[in-house]
């Protein structure tokens, strides 16, 4: 926290190079939120840039009542919400029966060749993650790739911890079911 405070103070004192450090340190987290929330690939990097411009403009308002990264992720999330709202894209596609987009591969012959199974499975997992609603996949990514707690994610997404947990559990159950329909337990 002391390092973050020193970095912010440098930026507020006019040190733009310090802000570049902040960008480099947090671009991974921002990309996780934006790439999960924004489906259109050409827009993603622009949205990431917009997030950091907003971070810069609002840095004077940061009061250190949370981690700097959590605050930045929160800005990333709200920027994505605004983007989605502007584009009139669905945010909470109901998972419904939880397999409406799901085309099971029932035939053993359709299973991927074992030699390519691992990379194919990674690709399929990526595809399946992309098939669940943006909020769900963002929660999955923040939890697993950024090692964030339910509470931190709840703070970023401004939703109750219980809701975060529920969405995370539903998303993972769905992913597991979809992967197991295409791969054996051993391949997984």
Q: Is 60 helix (H, G, I), strand (E, B) or coil?
A: helix
For residue 128, the number of C-alpha atoms closer than 13 Å in the C-beta half-sphere is 24
Q: By rule CB under 8 A, what string of x and - marks binding of each residue 14-43 to another protein?
A: x-x--xx--xx--xx--xx--x--------
Interface with another protein includes 95 (CB under 8 A)? no
Closest distance between another protein and the C-beta of residue 173, in Å?
5
Q: Which is closer to another protein, CB of 88 or CB of 96? A: 96
Q: Which of 47, 48, 72, 142 binds another protein (CB under 8 A)?
A: 48
Residues 70/155, Cβ–Cβ less than 8 Å: yes
Q: State the alpha helices, DSSP H only, in the chain.
A: 2-12, 16-37, 41-58, 68-87, 114-131, 134-144, 150-157, 161-182
Among 61, 94, 110, 115, binds another protein (CB under 8 A): 61
How far apart are CB 12 and another protein at their closest, in Å?
A: 4
């Amino acid at each position: 926290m002391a390092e973050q405070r020193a970095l912010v103070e440098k930026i507020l004192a006019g040190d733009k190079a310090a802000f570049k450090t902040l960008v480099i340190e947090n671009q991974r987290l921002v990309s996780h939120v934006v790439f999960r929330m924004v489906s259109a690939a050409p827009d993603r990097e622009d949205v990431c840039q917009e997030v950091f411009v907003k971070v810069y403009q609002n840095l004077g308002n940061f009061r250190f009542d949370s981690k700097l990264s959590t605050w930045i992720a929160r800005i990333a999330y709200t920027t994505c919400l605004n983007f989605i709202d502007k584009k009139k894209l669905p945010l909470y596609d109901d998972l419904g029966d939880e397999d409406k987009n799901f085309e099971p591969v029932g035939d053993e012959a359709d299973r991927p060749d074992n030699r390519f199974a691992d990379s194919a499975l990674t690709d399929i997992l990526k595809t399946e993650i992309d098939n669940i609603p943006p909020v769900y996949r963002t929660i999955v990514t923040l939890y697993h790739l950024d090692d964030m707690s339910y509470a931190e994610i709840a703070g970023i997404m401004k939703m109750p911890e219980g809701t975060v947990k529920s969405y995370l559990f539903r998303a993972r159950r769905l992913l597991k079911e979809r992967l197991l329909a295409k791969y054996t337990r051993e391949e997984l």
